[in-house]
Structure 1
Amino acid sequence: MIPSFPSEPLIVDIESSEVDYMTDRMKAIEERDGNPEGVEITRIGHAVCLYSKSMPWPSFNTVKGIRSEDIPYIDDIIHFYRSRDRKFQIEVVPSLVDQKLLKALADKGMYQSGFHTSMYINPESLTDEFHWAAIDIRPLKRDEFEKYATVHCIGTGLPQQGIPSVARNNEVLYDRPGWRFFMAYINDNPAAAGVMYVKGDIASLTFAATLPEYRRQGLQQGLLRRRIAEAARESCRMVVSQCSFISPSHRNMERVGMKLGYVRTAWTER
């Protein structure tokens, strides 16, 4: 069972699930022949530092799990990214750091640049799974990663020339323990996708996107319910997910019963 209100142990569990899924994802990409994306993962103190040479986006160049005890290592963390000529962000989770760390980050020339929301739910509390005749949600097949990557890129606004790379970087997760991919179809046309990672008794809803022409048709609520129900069948005690604060994704998660765990901040160099 999980508490009905946020607590420090709950927050630690949520953050750990986010660190676990992103670390495993990056390791899988790193293990591709020749490490074509130039992935590096290193731990400095409590912090896990993720880096990719060819993928400059913040989610692939971020510091997770930092604690106040890591103040002596802030220079080492900054050097790790500066030596690779990469802009990065440090994720700070409330209640797991104190004012001293925040001041230390500011003293090193960093500023609070954004917010991100982490949500959670006990999967047994899901009252019903999504059923709508017009929408078919099913597990992704091994030979469907080009379809998945098309939804991923177009649904998130990434350039379409990146579709082959996104397909390869996700295909390596197909047989990797814990990973589940789902595709939603309307009239047998791929319309939306959702991904889940399970480790122990916690499931993370790691990614979701919908093609623009199929939005506002309940696809994301359907994918949320399908993955939460799948987590319940796998005896998970908690499902967590991330979203931009008061975004459409946030509202969809609230609608299916997910609760606010915390709002973390991102810190970036000036």
Structure 2
Amino acid sequence: MHLTEAVADALEQSEIDYMTDRMKAIQDIEGNPEGIHLARFGHARLYYSDTMPWPQFNTVKGMRGEDIHHIDEIISFFRTRNRTCQFEIVPKQAHPLLFKKLSESGCYQSGFHATLYGAAEREALFDLDPGSEEEIRVLPYAEEDMMTYAAIHCRGTGLGDDGISAVARNNEVLLKRPGWSYFIGFQEEKAAATGVMYRQNGIASLTFAATLPSYRNIGMHAALLRRRIHEAALSGCRLVVSQASYLSQSHRNMERAGMKLGYVRATWTMPV
């Protein structure tokens, strides 16, 4: 699948779609315990959480050059809550006046992040490399597996175990929600890794993956990639999209699974 303007737009929209659905699901938990707030400013989508200070939950996606008159209002929203945020700018929507306004508002470019894409292929599941991957099994999650998911999520990303119950609660609502699928990777019958996928409008977003530190570098992430690509094809998706740190192991695994670089987006951070 060749990269065109339409494909680039679809890559950005897929990330907006899964993040919006994810945050709405958490917001709809009785009492909105995470303090989720969603707002739209022109093309830009604002995501905020009272209790989750991490950048992915306090971010602005989809901003374009014509939205620069909203920047002061967005910054004021986060500043009154004593919270920093990040603006995610994709190359197709980059504009000199947008970067100039962000800089004048005190923001600074803090990084880059890669978006990769590929065609959904049923054969991906069966393209196994020789070696330890043959001992790996990837299965769908059941609702009763959510505490296992949450433990892998927290320990695989460096969060403390005191966050396990909250992570389980915030993902149980997604497991029951249309479009979301969760997978667990086993190595010699031990739960070792996890991966998540969201499907909408024929596009599958590989939204999250984590592996326990003691099970890394044996093919867990690659196996989870292949299983999700395979399941995306079975469900009728035509396109698979994911994000990773540029040239990270995840990035390289995605390319080995047949995905290729769509673009590298810029991250601009607003300090508190």
Q: TM-score, normalised by structure 1?
A: 0.96
Quick one: which of 108, 111, 127 aligns to 1:111?
A: 108
SS at the partner of 1:166?
A: helix
In structure 2, C-alpha distance between the alignment counterparts of 1:126 and 1:238, rounded to whole Å: 14
Report the CA distance shift for 1:196/1:23 in structure 2 as closer, same or farther (over 3 A).
same
Task: Look up the match of 1:247.
Answer: 248
Task: Look up the match of 2:33.
Answer: 36
> In 1, are the aligned partners of 2:124 and 2:226 still within 8 Å (CA)?
no
In structure 2, C-alpha distance between the alignment counterparts of 1:147 and 1:180, rounded to whole Å: 15
How many equivalent pairs are there?
A: 267
Task: Look up the match of 2:261.
Answer: 260
1:66 aligns with 2:67: no
In structure 2, C-alpha distance between the alignment counterparts of 1:226 and 1:169, rounded to whole Å: 23
- The answer for unaligned runs of 5 or more in structure 1 is none
SS at the partner of 1:173?
A: helix
Task: Look up the match of 2:85.
Answer: 88
Moved runs in structure 1, 4+ residues, more than 6 A? Answer: none
In structure 1, C-alpha distance between the alignment counterparts of 2:256 and 2:211, rounded to whole Å: 18
In structure 2, C-alpha distance between the alignment counterparts of 1:161 and 1:107, rounded to whole Å: 39
Task: Look up the match of 2:214.
Answer: 213
1:226 aligns with 2:227: yes
> In 1, are the aligned partners of 2:124 and 2:227 still within 8 Å (CA)?
no
> In 1, are the aligned partners of 2:122 and 2:233 still within 8 Å (CA)?
no
In structure 2, C-alpha distance between the alignment counterparts of 1:238 and 1:22, rounded to whole Å: 17
> In 2, are the aligned partners of 1:81 and 1:87 still within 8 Å (CA)?
yes
Task: Look up the match of 1:163.
Answer: 164
In structure 1, C-alpha distance between the alignment counterparts of 2:112 and 2:40, rounded to whole Å: 23
> In 2, are the aligned partners of 1:130 and 1:222 still within 8 Å (CA)?
no
Which structure features the higher share of helix residues? 2
In structure 2, C-alpha distance between the alignment counterparts of 1:239 and 1:141, rounded to whole Å: 23
Task: Look up the match of 1:134.
Answer: 135
SS at the partner of 1:172?
A: helix
Q: TM-score, normalised by structure 2?
A: 0.95
Task: Look up the match of 2:19.
Answer: 22
Alignment RMSD: 1.3
Report the CA distance shift for 1:166/1:268 in structure 2 as closer, same or farther (over 3 A).
same
> How many percent identity over aligned positions?
53
> What's the CA shift for 1:79?
1.1
Question: Deviation per CA, 1:101-156, whole angstroms, max 9, x where unpaired?
Answer: 11111111111001110000011385553555411110001101000001000001
- The answer for unaligned runs of 5 or more in structure 2 is none
In structure 2, C-alpha distance between the alignment counterparts of 1:211 and 1:90, rounded to whole Å: 30
Instruction: Say which is worse superposed, 196-205 or 8-17, in terms of deviation.
Output: 8-17
